[in-house]
């Protein structure tokens, strides 16, 4: 049995994954951008216009948020439309709130 499964609860592991995904200012910006966007979805190009980073760097940050399950992408070649994964975003907010209220 791995050390993680032996010593940490599934909730602790999931909370750490959400926290890791939010651990960079660009990723926080992306989540803000998506939550403040009127339809809650946008293309990566729209975000790239608002960030002083290369598109490839933005792509890596989007990949991390997607890996954690906080966002999802809809491929419509040649564009990818990103949206918040509402269920996981609500779960992350709830878990973080509970963590900070302990």
pLDDT at 5: 67
Any idea where the domains of the chain sit in the sequence? 3-97
pLDDT at 38: 61
User: The pTM is what?
Assistant: 0.87
The answer to whether the CB of 4 falls within 8 A of the CB of 13 is yes
pLDDT at 77: 82
- 35: number of Cβ within 10 Å: 10
User: Could you name the CATH architecture of 3-97?
Assistant: Orthogonal Bundle (1.10)
Q: What are phi and psi of 71, to 5 degrees?
A: -130, 165
Ranges in the chain, pLDDT < 70: 1-5, 38
């Amino acid at each position: 049995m791995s050390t993680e499964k032996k010593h940490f609860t599934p909730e602790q592991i999931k909370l750490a994954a959400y926290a890791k995904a939010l651990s960079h200012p660009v990723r926080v910006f992306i989540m803000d951008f998506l939550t403040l966007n009127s339809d809650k979805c946008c293309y990566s190009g729209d975000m790239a216009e608002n960030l002083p980073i290369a598109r490839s760097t933005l792509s890596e940050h989007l990949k991390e948020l997607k890996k954690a399950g906080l966002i999802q992408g809809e491929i419509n070649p040649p564009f990818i439309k990103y949206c918040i994964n509402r269920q996981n975003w609500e779960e992350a907010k709830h878990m973080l709130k509970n963590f900070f209220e302990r």
